[in-house]
Structure 1
Amino acid sequence: MRWEEFQVKGEQLLAKVKELVHQGNIRRLVIANEDGKTLVEVPLTVGVVGAVLVPVAVAIGAIAAIVTDCTIRVERSDGSGA
């Protein structure tokens, strides 16, 4: 497994999460505030992504409304093309 980090503004948060999930091979998604405190952590497996994405998108939208800067951390599966 490997981790990647992305720094985004609050208003860009939901769009970036959707982009990352669409790319695939993400096993875990973590959103942290500018102080590094984890705000949401979601495991994403291939079979669960569709069912989980809608309520997660609502939660991420609420987070985006209250934070100015945040960090998205994604755990990717090794061996995939991303």
Structure 2
Amino acid sequence: MSESGDSRTWYEEFKVSGDNLVTKVRELVREGNVRRVFIKNEAGETLLEIPLTAGVAVTAVAAVAAPVLVAVGAVAALLTQVTVGVERQRPPDEATSVHVID
């Protein structure tokens, strides 16, 4: 996991098998704080970037993401192992909070 230049976002990666790729992307879409999903091959090259709007209702995102999931399924059929990169948005209170220790 790493911080991006914007303190309101952060990035993490997951290794998944091609068989589990669509399931993982669906889980990420449902979480609601995901801004972008990247699908990378074993060499680390980005094959597909899926921009998402954080904070949109799950049903709306699911309807919009359905055609994207078809593309994800096509990528999954071609690869045995992929890396899923996720750019997430922090909640406003977490991005701006200051911790004071006495």
- Say yes or no: TM over 0.5: yes
The structure having more radius of gyration, on CA atoms, is: 2
1:12 maps to 2:20:
yes
* Greater than 6 Å deviation, 4+ residue runs: none
1:49 maps to 2:57:
no
Q: Structure 1: which 5+ residue stretches go unaligned?
A: none
**Contact 2:29/2:62 (<8 A) preserved:** no
CA RMSD of aligned residues (A): 1.8
Q: Structure 2: which 5+ residue stretches go unaligned?
A: 1-8, 95-102
Greater strand share, structure number = 1
- Corresponding residue SS for 2:64: helix
1:74 maps to 2:82:
no
Percent identity between the two aligned chains = 52
CA distance, structure 1, for counterparts of residue 16 and residue 62 of structure 2? 24
CA distance, structure 1, for counterparts of residue 37 and residue 64 of structure 2? 12
**Contact 2:11/2:87 (<8 A) preserved:** yes
CA distance, structure 1, for counterparts of residue 26 and residue 46 of structure 2? 19
TM-score (norm: length of structure 1):
0.89
CA distance, structure 1, for counterparts of residue 73 and residue 45 of structure 2? 17
Alignment-mate amino acid for residue 38 of structure 1: T
